[in-house]
Amino acid sequence: MQNIQIQTLEDYPGDTKKLTQFWNENLADSFPIKESLFERSLLKNTWIDRQNSYIALDGDQVIGLLISKKGKEQGLWQEQVWISAFLVNKCYRKNGIGSRLIQLFEDKIQKGMDITVGSDPYHLFPGIPSEQVEAISFFEKRGYDVTDKTYDLRADISEHKEQYPLDPMYSVRRLKEGEQEELIFLFAKDFGERWVYDLTEGYGNNERKIDGTIGLFKDNTLIGFANVNTFNDGYLAPNVFWKDLLHNHYSGLGPIGVAEEYRGKGLGIALLEKAVLQLQKEGVKEMVVDWTVFVNYYGKVGCKPWKEYVHTAKSN
């Protein structure tokens, strides 16, 4: 292993295709990735710390990587750092390469910063996939706390029948151009800053369209929402990152929510079902919900756990 070289992402001279190929050689069975998604999440967004992300090479062969992101000096998550991706070639493990990568990374982290594995802006994973037992053990041995679990859920919705009818005083439809501000206002009033950021970022870079949200209305007031992404629109949201493993007529759903003053009235489950029935009308056969702990809620429309992750973090 004397010929192994580690370079920062900033200095790495190779191309994206090699990195994507390396990923798929090791993870394609569970998390097959397209070059465009790899670039968007791990190479070409403003959160990436290119000087504290690393590529391990044996000659010109990529054998390991650690991609990190950091909070911005102004605004959200100023004292937060993320490990967005961490991977060593199956044939090179237990040779200290992972330890070298993590040590280089941690040596540059200021005291008092919180390090989280996954859950980053433009994330691929909400945590470490539970099937990656070696990776979980690796981080535990280095002082990272493994805490709660979260899930991606999956359902065949092709034959779902209505079980939770909506009171006629409410209506559900896809949002229209010009209603972005109303949706952002609802998010800012009743939901977390992460959701507000993800929504406004999507509109700001023209990736997300307003009709990708199904709205719940009372009279003409927006009081609830469900974000959806389907094979028809092609928008690559986290709930359809792994679409190559799904039916061709796939969809992702989430996040979903109802304004605080309208909670406790059964509107949440009715909105969820209306969204499912809308997707069904549009030809969707299979649906995924990503990054959730609400297994019972989504289970009411047939969703079952598909992928499991553990949240892992450390204070430096």
Give the pLDDT confidence of 61-94 residue by residue, as tens digits.
999 999 999 987 666 677 899 999 999 999 999 9
- 72 and 172 in a single domain? The answer is no
Distance, CA of 256 to CA of 197 (rounded, Å): 15
**The domain that contains 39 carries what CATH number?**
3.40.630.30
- 299 and 166 in a single domain? The answer is yes
- 119 and 166 in a single domain? The answer is no
- 206 and 61 in a single domain? The answer is no
Confidence tier at 2 by pLDDT (50, 70, 90):
low
Phi-psi region of 119 (alpha: psi -120 to 50; beta: other; left: phi over 0): left
Residue-averaged pLDDT of the chain = 93
Give the pLDDT confidence of 30-49 residue by residue, as tens digits.
999 999 999 999 999 999 99
265 in any annotated domain: yes
130 in any annotated domain: no
- 161 and 288 in a single domain? The answer is yes
Outline where the chain has alpha helix (H): 16-27, 35-42, 97-107, 133-141, 180-190, 193-204, 267-281, 295-299
Average pLDDT over residues 182-211: 81
- 173 and 238 in a single domain? The answer is yes
Which domain, by its residues, includes 233? 154-308
Residue 1 is predicted with a pLDDT of 57
- 298 and 173 in a single domain? The answer is yes
Residue 79 is predicted with a pLDDT of 82
- 93 and 196 in a single domain? The answer is no
How many domains would you assign to the chain? 2
- 226 and 299 in a single domain? The answer is yes
- 291 and 165 in a single domain? The answer is yes
Q: Is residue 294 over pLDDT 60?
A: yes
- 197 and 110 in a single domain? The answer is no
66 in any annotated domain: yes
Q: Provide the angle, in degrees to the nearest 10, between the axes of the packed helices 180-190 and 193-204.
A: 160
Average pLDDT over residues 178-195: 89
Identify the domain boundary among 107, 124, 141: 124
- 120 and 160 in a single domain? The answer is no
Residue 205 is predicted with a pLDDT of 62
Confidence tier at 111 by pLDDT (50, 70, 90):
confident
Residue 27 is predicted with a pLDDT of 97
Average pLDDT over residues 131-142: 96
